[in-house]
Structure 1
Amino acid sequence: MTTIGRCWMAALGLMMTTAACGSSDTPGAGTKAALIDRAPTPKNEFTPVEIETTLDNLIAKVNEGTVEPMQMVVLLKNLNTYFAPIATGANRAMGELEVTGNVLGPTDQSTDPTTSQDIQNQQIQQAVADGAEGIGISPYGDFNGAAMDDAVAKGVHVVTFDGDVPTSKRSFYVGTLNKSAGATAGKTLLAMLPPPPGTVLIHGTFGAVWMDGYNRTQGAREVIEAAGYVPLVSEAVYHADEAFDVDSMKSRIEAADPPVIGMVGLFDISYRCVMGADAAGIPDVPIVAFDFNPKTVEYMRQGRIKATHTQRQYYQGYLVPYILYGIRTIGLDGTKEILAPLMDGGSTVNTGISTVPSDKIDAYNDFLDMIGATQ
């Protein structure tokens, strides 16, 4: 474990570090590191070829110049479940780059959100104090904006992933384009529906407090409405009892006019759409989901969920250290030029999503096994 890891473990008992592979001894100033030699990723139908090609191009450009040691840290909201593949990708990239640093995140799911936000701000400050030259962070929105901007003001480049603070001075956001992802999920469902009229229930979110979820919901709403159906949002309630969420869907389905003819879930808990359909007495309604929750997979194998849409968490984690290293070695503009095939706008790196039909579960699992990111 590096010095940074020891400091944070002592000061922040809620956190666990997963040290990156490679030496924890920082080479002396001016020491040239070995050229980056990334093992090729085996090909699979779910391999994001454009991301892989862009990474290879970035490495080739970096290797043209002076490859030097670097210190960085990657901060996650959690090291478990959804975030586990992100941790895997970040650790692998940091090992390949032979940088000094850690991937950090809480393991206690019960930690109060406000406490988690405060801890993350402390981590940013500690990283800067300990000499980090780059910080990757899955932020809690604007709560972390000031700490991020302070790091940037002190010469530390910051890259966000999974979630973003677009008003901050971060260099890049790496992750899913949520409005586009919601639209993709909506289009997957549309191919399974009878002609209008009909209502489509969206297990999403009403409010713009959580902008990522709201944008994903809006993307689905717009394509469903444009196709002539009535979109009906049922709030996905993470922190309530599961029965509360199911009852809410049931009441909306029963009151819908015209009747509900399809359902789309937009978050990790979208397997609950099956439970809502059963409660409302429409078990045969087509359902598509989001993410790769084990319960979602179970319903897919039963034929209840027709397809799901997975975010590329592993590649979010894998890209961030390479991007930070690129900024350090070839500059922000040079890195942006190489990342152009993945860019949406001036600072967003789109990792995209994968559509996984129910008859492709085993192929997708093979892909996850191949990259070591089984969820």
Structure 2
Amino acid sequence: MKRIGRWGMTALALTLMTAACGSTTPDAGEDSTPIRRAPTPDNEFTPAELEAVLDNLVAEINKSSSRPMQITVLLKDATGFWAPVVRAANRALGELGATGNVIGPVAQTDDVDEAERLQNRQISQTVEDGAEGLGLAPFNDIQTAAVDEAVAKGVHVVTLDTDVASSKRSLFVGTLDKAAGAAAGKTLLAMLPPAPGTVIIHGNVDQAWSNGMERTQGARDVFEAAGYEVLVRQSTWDDGGETEDIAWMKAELEAAEPPVVGMIGLFDISYRCAMAADAAGKPDIPIVAFDFDPKTVDYMRQGRIKATHTQRQYYQGYLVPYILHGIKNIGLDATREILAPQMVDDVRVNTGLDVVPADKIDAYNDFLDSLEVDSLEASQ
């Protein structure tokens, strides 16, 4: 997810999804209602590997009586980037017959520290309310103690989007930033002339933002291994940041030696690369982007940005309740074994990226529509 400094919407208990079949535990010897997933429309962007993992997990759970479960999914926000997560998590809760809810921030604040403290209190309240499983999009390691306390009380915890690696959570589900940066780098690499040459990365060099650093390093490694020089511009969302970004990249486009042969943006403001290339009078330099911001899409339709890379936040929200249900019903080890094709180690499930070429914008919008996801939501 992009780096943000505001959590704006009060969204407590956004949607309560309770199914009759999930309200009581089946009697001994009584068959529970099998889990049935809603069909996923077939589309060229449908992640077949994720769909197969989900189907295999459901099949294994359905081999025995599935016990109902109370699940809470606790997010940093409920709008923009998070809206598809809300929709998908609620859909999964309904299919599972789970008692539970999806919760956004409980208060409006510009104070990052206060937002983190509020989430810690939400975690504690979730445990008190009887949740057996918690899907958590944390702020950072400040959630470690709250997560560990929940686990100590028997609550299974799966993180999404951002991890609390220092905690006792069971698994993490989301985009692995270093792999994402490398994937985007390979997309651009295929468009470049042979080295030598310089590549500009509109990325992150701020060590306080480890996710941004990892994504940038993943891309940088690809280009340096291929023999290119790399220049990194620190992305900023502050007032005046766009003007400063364009000026810096324009100057490098005009003066870099060896000359700039390609540009890549790694966050939602990737379109600034195209603005800088236009300002430097170099519209033919290949550019690839990240996320689905309307400005990025406009430059793609003009042929100025060749491709973009989008996170699968819908699948993050959809996977987490199913994983929590699996941990309760078949155990963590068995759940992990089924998830293995998507895991990079014992604790991290990689949901991957969608690579969207400029000539596939409409097809990708059709895919989002099939998931009932608005393209403006996916862009943020």
Aligned to 1:27: 23
* Contact persistence 1:286–1:305 (CA under 8 A): yes
* Contact persistence 1:234–1:252 (CA under 8 A): no
Identity %: 59
Distance 1:165 1:254, change over 3 A: farther
CA distance in 1, matches of 2:269, 2:106: 20
CA apart distance, 1:26: 6.8
Q: Which amino acid aligns with 1:186?
A: G
Aligned to 2:283: 283
> What is the CA deviation profile of residues 79-103 of structure 1, one whole-angstrom value per residue up to 9, with x for unaligned ones?
1221221112111101111211211
1:1-375 map, 5 Å: 14-23=10-19, 27-28=23-24, 33-106=32-105, 111-241=110-240, 242-375=242-375
CA distance in 1, matches of 2:262, 2:107: 36
Q: Which amino acid aligns with 1:286?
A: P
3-state SS of 1:339 partner: helix
* Contact persistence 2:106–2:118 (CA under 8 A): no
Q: Which amino acid aligns with 1:327?
A: I
Aligned to 1:5: none
CA distance in 1, matches of 2:137, 2:112: 14
CA distance in 2, matches of 1:149, 1:39: 34
CA apart distance, 1:257: 2.2
CA distance in 1, matches of 2:162, 2:55: 25
3-state SS of 1:366 partner: helix
| Greater displacement, 272-281 / 331-340 | 272-281
CA distance in 1, matches of 2:205, 2:15: 39
- Given the two structures, how large is their TM-score scaled by the length of structure 1? 0.91
CA distance in 2, matches of 1:292, 1:104: 25
3-state SS of 1:310 partner: strand
CA distance in 2, matches of 1:13, 1:283: 40
CA distance in 1, matches of 2:250, 2:289: 17
CA distance in 2, matches of 1:255, 1:20: 57
CA apart distance, 1:325: 0.6
Distance 1:338 1:142, change over 3 A: same
3-state SS of 1:344 partner: coil
* Contact persistence 1:289–1:308 (CA under 8 A): yes
Distance 1:244 1:78, change over 3 A: farther
* Contact persistence 1:316–1:351 (CA under 8 A): yes
- Given the two structures, how large is their TM-score scaled by the length of structure 2? 0.90
> What is the CA deviation profile of residues 126-175 of structure 1, one whole-angstrom value per residue up to 9, with x for unaligned ones?
00111111111111111211111111111111111111121211111111
3-state SS of 2:182 partner: helix
CA distance in 2, matches of 1:272, 1:107: 34
| Greater displacement, 23-32 / 86-95 | 23-32
CA distance in 2, matches of 1:57, 1:265: 36
* Contact persistence 1:253–1:260 (CA under 8 A): yes
Q: Which amino acid aligns with 1:328?
A: K
> What is the CA deviation profile of residues 11-40 of structure 1, one whole-angstrom value per residue up to 9, with x for unaligned ones?
x98334321434489724556752211122
* Contact persistence 2:206–2:213 (CA under 8 A): yes
CA distance in 1, matches of 2:114, 2:244: 26
Distance 1:339 1:26, change over 3 A: closer
| Greater displacement, 172-181 / 205-214 | 205-214
CA distance in 2, matches of 1:157, 1:71: 11
* Contact persistence 2:173–2:349 (CA under 8 A): yes
CA distance in 2, matches of 1:108, 1:254: 47
Distance 1:357 1:217, change over 3 A: same
Distance 1:13 1:51, change over 3 A: closer
The gaps in structure 2 that reach 5 residues or longer are 1-7, 376-380
> What is the CA deviation profile of residues 281-310 of structure 1, one whole-angstrom value per residue up to 9, with x for unaligned ones?
323221100111222111111111100011
CA distance in 2, matches of 1:113, 1:255: 39
CA apart distance, 1:250: 3.1
The gaps in structure 1 that reach 5 residues or longer are 1-11
CA apart distance, 1:121: 1.0
3-state SS of 1:15 partner: coil
